A and B are shown apart, each in its own frame.
Chain A
Amino acid sequence: MNLTKEQLLTMYRQMWTIRHFEDEMAAAYMEGKTPAFDIGSGPVPGEMHLAAGQEPVAVGACMHLRKEDTVVGTHRPHHFAIAKGIELNKLAAEIFGKATGLGKGKGGHMHLFDVEHKFSCSGIVGASFPPACGAALAAKKMGKDWVAVAFAGEGAANQGSFHEALNLAALWKLPVIFIIEDNSWAISVSKRQSTAIPDNSQRAAGYGIPGVRVDENDVLAVYEVVGEAVQRARRGEGPSLIEVKTDRLYGHFQGDPELYRPKDEVPTLRANDPILRFGKQLLEQGFATQSDLDAAREAAKADVDAAFAFARQSPYPAPESALEDVFVS
């Protein structure tokens, strides 16, 4: 492992930042929604897709990225945004619909845009692949060694956009990495019910590019596999496809009754929490002391608390501002 202690602790802290962010968001989301749940009520209305449990994918992958590399995320985007370095304050404020948010309250949780950190995402399944190809194409045309990463869920690998983008990227040798988060569920439909083969990374063969499956929800395993793909892309050798087995600890959206899900599934996943496992590994291998871990976790919590306080204290946008920004001025 070529990671320093400092880098390892950065990863650990980032995973906790994501987890705290999602857990705090789950709590904020329920404000104003009890006793009768109404999706449009409370300080955080609308759909809410949380990524707790999927931290290893975002953190393991984004550790390899620079500010000038592009990330395109999904409808479940917070972990990617945080791992790519988006300011927590602006992220939280956008989700609270505030004027200080990334999109001045216009985008919301599924539609986060940060030009500075070259991050975007979409509420449409399968929409990440083509724009990542475009970012990679631009880097190539401009003679830069920048790469682009498209994240998507396993359900998105059944969209036409996935197959078209893979072919295009392979054909043009684009510096793009396609990373599939296999959390087993496309809302209520399991991968087995929806996908003709068990392992999406095998689909890389159809486009003559490397395809690797990471079978464990493990941040270092993701780090290693994505590292090879990023280096390959930077060297101008073209795209790669990676599928990571990961775990969705919450429902598809907050309020999802999850009647389709086996009852013991989430407790089993929680018992195998990827952040706790990583911490244990760092301790056992002597990369960190318990006080290092505690400090990282507490710092993450403090960052998240500050971001939520900022979001809550920020003003709402003026209603008439809804009419602005259809076009740039």
Chain B
Amino acid sequence: MTNERELTMAKAIAEAIDQEMERDERVFVMGEDVGVYGGIFGATQGLYDKYGPERVMDTPISETAFIGAATGAAAEGMRPIVELMFVDFFGVCMDQIYNHLAKNTYMSGGHARYPVVLTTAIGGGYNDAAQHSQCLYGLFAHVPGLKIVVPSTAYDAKGLMISAIRDDNPVMYFFHKGLMGLGWMKYHPRSVTPVPEAPYTIPFGQADVKRTGKDVTIVSLAMMVHRALDAAEELAKEGVEAEVIDLRTLVPLDKEAVVNSVKKTHRLLVVDEDYHSFGMTGEIAAIVAEEALDYLDAPIRRLAVPDVPIPYSRPLEQFVLPSAERIAATVRSMMG
């Protein structure tokens, strides 16, 4: 077949889960509105019709109970996929995630296995304000014991989801609402990509160079990969070739890809939709400072949400979210 079909990220995720549910009867899905509704962001669409309420379970609004139950069921050999509707809702169930799901394997001396995939929606840009727009993957990458997956395209989303389900460790899988290809929310068209029908995996800890360039390295993930690519297109017109690295997973982190790119381009800009301080941008900057400081021709720069909660009003939100224009302007300021 020459013309490969294209999928939205939501459909790619649902297809990955479907194929793994077919392959392995231990896989099942729990969460709020994951059944008849198909997931508020479509990540479980079609699964209820195919597998029924025994394997695609709508839950009460009781995240501590059902996410904790996923840990317990995984310990017995099941392979649950649980959805936390918005990552912002973590507060009601954080103990089960942070102190149990993340740490039990270590505390058991590596004996206990928790093959849980915890899916959750992230991201702003559509005026949903401070409690429904955060990214927060940095928070979950901070605690040891959770693998952190943050795809930016449909192709990556499917392969990373299959890897997540087959992994014997807890995986948190963050999907950006503005990349899901929903009918009711504007999405970045570049997130829709050709997706092979047959199951495939993408290994964790392998960043993807989404655009090659020689002048500056832009490291990012999720929506900001696309903003960086938009900026790179503009910069190319001015003769500046940006290399855009999509980390795809934060844990494990592909340090080598970042360091090697910086050794080539000699400039680093890290772009994140998460908060500025104590997060992904600082981590990447520190790694490059530790391992490639001598290669830098300009100070490392970071663009992220400037340590304020996500505001509601459109001009305020647009002010705090990194944009392609601001990415391009920052790169220009580094090129002198």
Instruction: List A residues at the B interface (Cβ < 8 Å).
Output: 37-41, 45-47, 94, 97-98, 103, 105-111, 122-126, 155-156, 158-161, 186-189, 193-195, 255, 259-260, 316-323, 326
Chain B residue with the shortest CB-CB distance to A316: B315
* B311→A123 contact, CB < 8 A: no
* A124→B126 contact, CB < 8 A: no
For the complex, what is the distance from the CA of A160 to the CA of B60, rounded to whole Å?
11
Nearest 10 Cβ contacts at the A-B interface = A108-B312, A105-B313, A97-B313, A40-B126, A45-B127, A46-B127, A319-B319, A158-B60, A123-B131, A322-B316
Chain B residues within 8 Å of A319, by CB: 315-316, 318-319
Partner of B64, one of A45, A160, A255: A160
For the complex, what is the distance from the CA of A105 to the CA of B37, rounded to whole Å?
32
- With A108-B127, A187-B33 known as contacts, the answer to whether A38 contacts B186 (CB < 8 A) is yes
Chain B residues within 8 Å of A326, by CB: 307-309
Q: Taking the complex as formed, is B106 at the interface, i.e. its CB lies under 8 A from any CB of chain A?
A: no
- With A47-B128, A107-B312, A189-B33 known as contacts, the answer to whether A194 contacts B60 (CB < 8 A) is yes
Chain B residues within 8 Å of A108, by CB: 127-129, 312-313
Given contacts A189-B60, A193-B58, A318-B315, 6 further A-B contacts (CB under 8 A): A38-B186, A46-B126, A107-B312, A110-B129, A124-B88, A159-B61
Q: How many residues of B contact A (CB 8 A)?
A: 43
Chain B residue with the shortest CB-CB distance to A156: B61
Chain A residues within 8 Å of B188, by CB: none
CB distance from B260 to the nearest CB of A (A): 36
* A161→B128 contact, CB < 8 A: no
Chain B residues within 8 Å of A111, by CB: 129-131, 312
* A316→B61 contact, CB < 8 A: no
* A160→B183 contact, CB < 8 A: no
Partner of A122, one of B58, B59, B127, B131: B131
For this complex, 22 residue pairs linking A to B, each with C-beta atoms less than 8 Å apart, are A37-B183, A37-B184, A40-B125, A41-B186, A46-B129, A97-B127, A105-B316, A109-B312, A111-B129, A111-B130, A123-B88, A125-B89, A126-B92, A159-B62, A187-B33, A187-B40, A188-B37, A194-B58, A259-B37, A319-B315, A322-B311, A326-B308
* A189→B131 contact, CB < 8 A: no
* A316→B313 contact, CB < 8 A: yes
- With A38-B185, A38-B186, A105-B312 known as contacts, the answer to whether A124 contacts B306 (CB < 8 A) is no
For the complex, what is the distance from the CA of A278 to the CA of B62, rounded to whole Å?
36
Q: Taking the complex as formed, is B36 at the interface, i.e. its CB lies under 8 A from any CB of chain A?
A: yes
Q: Taking the complex as formed, is B320 at the interface, i.e. its CB lies under 8 A from any CB of chain A?
A: yes
For the complex, what is the distance from the CA of A39 to the CA of B308, rounded to whole Å?
23
- With A47-B128, A316-B315, A323-B306 known as contacts, the answer to whether A158 contacts B185 (CB < 8 A) is no
For the complex, what is the distance from the CA of A122 to the CA of B319, rounded to whole Å?
24
Chain A residues within 8 Å of B126, by CB: 38-40, 45-46
Of the candidates B132, B308, B313, B316, the one having the most CB atoms from chain A within 10 angstroms of its own CB is B313
Q: Taking the complex as formed, is B332 at the interface, i.e. its CB lies under 8 A from any CB of chain A?
A: no
Partner of B316, one of A122, A189, A317: A317
CB distance from A1 to the nearest CB of B (A): 36
Chain A residues within 8 Å of B246, by CB: none
* B131→A124 contact, CB < 8 A: yes
Q: Taking the complex as formed, is B32 at the interface, i.e. its CB lies under 8 A from any CB of chain A?
A: yes
Interface set, chain B 104-128, CB cutoff 8 A to A: 125-128
For the complex, what is the distance from the CA of A260 to the CA of B37, rounded to whole Å?
7
Partner of A97, one of B89, B184, B185, B314: B314
Chain A residues within 8 Å of B308, by CB: 322-323, 326
* A124→B92 contact, CB < 8 A: yes
* B185→A40 contact, CB < 8 A: yes
For the complex, what is the distance from the CA of A325 to the CA of B277, rounded to whole Å?
17
Partner of A195, one of B32, B60, B64, B131: B60
Partner of A255, one of B32, B35, B62, B184: B184
Partner of A40, one of B33, B36, B127: B127
- With A46-B312, A111-B312, A186-B32 known as contacts, the answer to whether A322 contacts B58 (CB < 8 A) is no
* B61→A124 contact, CB < 8 A: no
* B131→A110 contact, CB < 8 A: yes
For the complex, what is the distance from the CA of A259 to the CA of B38, rounded to whole Å?
11
Q: Taking the complex as formed, is B336 at the interface, i.e. its CB lies under 8 A from any CB of chain A?
A: no
For the complex, what is the distance from the CA of A316 to the CA of B314, rounded to whole Å?
9
Chain A residues within 8 Å of B61, by CB: 125-126, 155-156, 158-159, 186, 194
CB distance from B91 to the nearest CB of A (A): 7
- With A40-B126, A111-B129, A126-B61 known as contacts, the answer to whether A106 contacts B313 (CB < 8 A) is yes
Chain A residue with the shortest CB-CB distance to B186: A38
For the complex, what is the distance from the CA of A107 to the CA of B129, rounded to whole Å?
7
* B315→A317 contact, CB < 8 A: yes
Chain B residues within 8 Å of A123, by CB: 88, 129, 131-132
Chain B residue with the shortest CB-CB distance to A94: B312
For the complex, what is the distance from the CA of A106 to the CA of B307, rounded to whole Å?
14
Chain A residue with the shortest CB-CB distance to B316: A322
Of the candidates A98, A109, A187, the one having the most CB atoms from chain B within 10 angstroms of its own CB is A187
* A160→B315 contact, CB < 8 A: no
Chain A residues within 8 Å of B309, by CB: 106, 326
* B186→A40 contact, CB < 8 A: yes
Interface string of B53-85 (1 = CB under 8 A from A): 000001111101100000000000000000000
